[in-house]
Amino acid sequence: MVILGISGLPNSQHFMRENYPGIGKLDERICQGVDSAACVIIDGKIVAAAAEERFTGEKGTGRFPANAINYCLAEAGLTQDDIQIIAHGFNYDNYRRFFMSNKKMFEEVFSGETVINALASEGWQNIESRFQGVDHHLAHAASTFYPSGFPSALCIISDGMGEIESLSVYLAKDQQFQKLYSQPISSSLGIFYSICTRFLGFVFNSDEYKVMGLAAYGNPERYRDIFNKLAQFDAESGTIQINWLSQAFDNAEYGFPAAIAQLSDMFGLMPRSEDDPLLDVHQDFAAGLQEKFTLLLKQLVTYWLQKTGETSLCLAGGSFLNCKANQALCQLDGVENVFVQPASGDDGSALGAALFVAGGYHNGTDHCFNPYLGPRFSTDEVRNVLFRHGGNAGMKWRYLGLNDDYFVSAAKDIAEDKIIAWFHDRMEFGPRALGNRSILALPAGEGIKDRINSTVKFREAFRPFAPAILDEDCDTIFETRNLMPTRYMLCTAKVKPEMMQPVSGIVHADGTARIQLVERTFNATFWRLLKEVQKITGYGCLVNTSFNVRGQPLIMSPEIAVETFLKTSLDKLYIEGFVVWKE
């Protein structure tokens, strides 16, 4: 069976801007249907997947994923007519009755007709007979259970909202998903975190990862009692109760102004504006929020593990891009196996919708999920780009090919404290750069965090960096007890005290780091570089951050790679066998 999976609601952001003309940058993602993406699955095998943002340059876009669809079809060697089913990661038509008070929004944003019309505008025909909506949380559940390889699992899905749900619990076995519990959006743990993110002056439904990073600098004790009053776990029913948020929904206005005002009253703080300095109180607020968020997830997961007797855990939804919470869940008693979908945001619902319709995932004998599903570029394509840019900013380049000299050259540059960009093979699916579109540096480099944040990424100084590390060096540097989803940068681990200084560039304020474990069978090109670094420095460990600058999606093409290289202080660009530098 040949299936196209898509995510996003193409009219969602346009509708919000049109009907709420006063919304600002921090509030424009208070809607469903952003992070649109596409994938193609053939007979249960994932052939291609990509987010639309990578093609448009608009980070987190909710535009109809026309470019992503065209890429996936081309990668698979298919035409529109070859697609048997078009699976969409939303299914609002089942919930039409809930939107009778706002028929305009339903018809223009949520109805499956909006996606069908968008497909028709791209030249698709005979769409209705092939179109199938999949409940949003069910799509997320399929996206994490099928690639896990577990025969059965407890699937926990948590995000801002999906149709009318914000958190769902499934018991998955074989091709069956039994829903055990769902939580309404009026008690959404994801929205709770997002409103607090907005209160701190960051973008709702986008910058939550910044708040997670900021939390490490604060003391949760200052606001612990207030957060405990805001949200509780009911041990009798296994539910999360956020009564304050329910009241905010009862008085809902766009942007949750009533909720923001309530937070201000309860905490005795003014909402922070985007350009205001970050103070100790903001760090403590973030720390209290992160502590409460993690505790609620631990309590919920523990309850359902005990109730079902399951020992395997599958996680998806935007809440599980929170690697601090994931670390705590991995270490729960009774948890033997954990899989977190690397594309846990709504881009992953395109994959999940297609997998659900396919009824499974087949990757030969290896069930390890491969996130390298995006575009790749040939030597000739890269060379043509370099010729076009040859006279810019004194740019020079030479071709070595993917031979020993190439990898040794990159390793020596890194060992000499240079910051390099690394562009190879297929682009990653999901938000993390996992060694194919990365910025790399030595973790012991002098002031490396400040250098990358200020002169390369142009982002906030408090933001941490993750390490990519060889399998054999992991136990030397990190405390790895119960550390499971390590290939995808989805879980943190404590850095051993004696290693804090040798890898200081990847140690966050709380002594942890978000690990990417690199194995030869998983990413041979990146592994080969780390082995050369290991020969020089003694450890196969690098700072690995995404190849982009602030506000830019992960880089997709050689053209964008070279343009970004030229406008930053990156020392070298290593791209498909070419070494590029500036004189």
pLDDT tens string 390-399: 877 689 999 9
Instruction: Give the pLDDT of residue 97.
Output: 87
Judge whether residue 365 has pLDDT over 50.
Answer: no
Amino acid at 534: Q
- Binned at pLDDT 50, 70 and 90, residue 329 comes out as very high
| pLDDT tens-digit readout, 420-434 | 999 999 999 999 999
Least confident interval from 130-134, 154-158, 253-257, 295-299: 253-257
Least confident interval from 93-107, 114-128, 198-212, 496-510: 93-107
Query: 215 with 287: CB under 8 angstroms?
Result: yes
Amino acid at 287: A
Tokens for 229, please give them: 């009053």
Name which of 220, 225, 191 is nearest 208 in CA terms: 191
d(CA 297, CA 240) in angstroms, rounded, equals 9
Phi-psi region of 125 (alpha: psi -120 to 50; beta: other; left: phi over 0): beta
Burial state string for 291-330 with b = 16 or more CB within 10 A and e = fewer than 16: bbbbbbbbbbbbbbbeeeebebbbbbbbbbbbbbbbbbbb
What number of CA atoms fall less than 13 Å from residue 341's CA on the CB side? 32
Number of CB atoms found within 10 A of residue 547's CB: 28
- DSSP code at position 212: H
| pLDDT tens-digit readout, 180-193 | 999 999 999 999 99
Mean pLDDT of 97-102: 82
| pLDDT tens-digit readout, 485-511 | 689 999 999 999 999 999 999 999 999
Phi, psi of 140 (to 5 degrees): -60, -40
Phi, psi of 356 (to 5 degrees): -60, -45
Instruction: Give the pLDDT of residue 485.
Output: 60
DSSP per-residue letters across 331-371: TSTT--EEEE-SS-STHHHHHHHHHHHHTS--BTB------
Instruction: Give this prediction's pTM.
Output: 0.96
Q: Structural domains in the chain?
A: 2-139 (3.30.420.40), 151-341 (3.30.420.40), 379-582 (3.90.870.20)
Mean pLDDT of 216-241: 97
Number of CB atoms found within 10 A of residue 481's CB: 9
- Binned at pLDDT 50, 70 and 90, residue 482 comes out as low
Q: In terms of pLDDT, which residue wins out, 347 or 444?
A: 347
- Binned at pLDDT 50, 70 and 90, residue 363 comes out as low
Query: 349 with 7: CB under 8 angstroms?
Result: yes
Mean pLDDT of 41-55: 97
- Binned at pLDDT 50, 70 and 90, residue 230 comes out as very high
Mean pLDDT of 436-459: 93
Instruction: Give the pLDDT of residue 364.
Output: 44
Judge whether residue 250 has pLDDT over 70.
Answer: no
- Binned at pLDDT 50, 70 and 90, residue 367 comes out as low
- DSSP code at position 443: T
Judge whether residue 122 has pLDDT over 50.
Answer: yes
* HEC-encoded secondary structure of 91-109: CHHHHHHHHHHHHHHHHHH
Number of CB atoms found within 10 A of residue 70's CB: 15
| Beta-bridge mates of residue 240 | 233
Instruction: Give the pLDDT of residue 258.
Output: 84
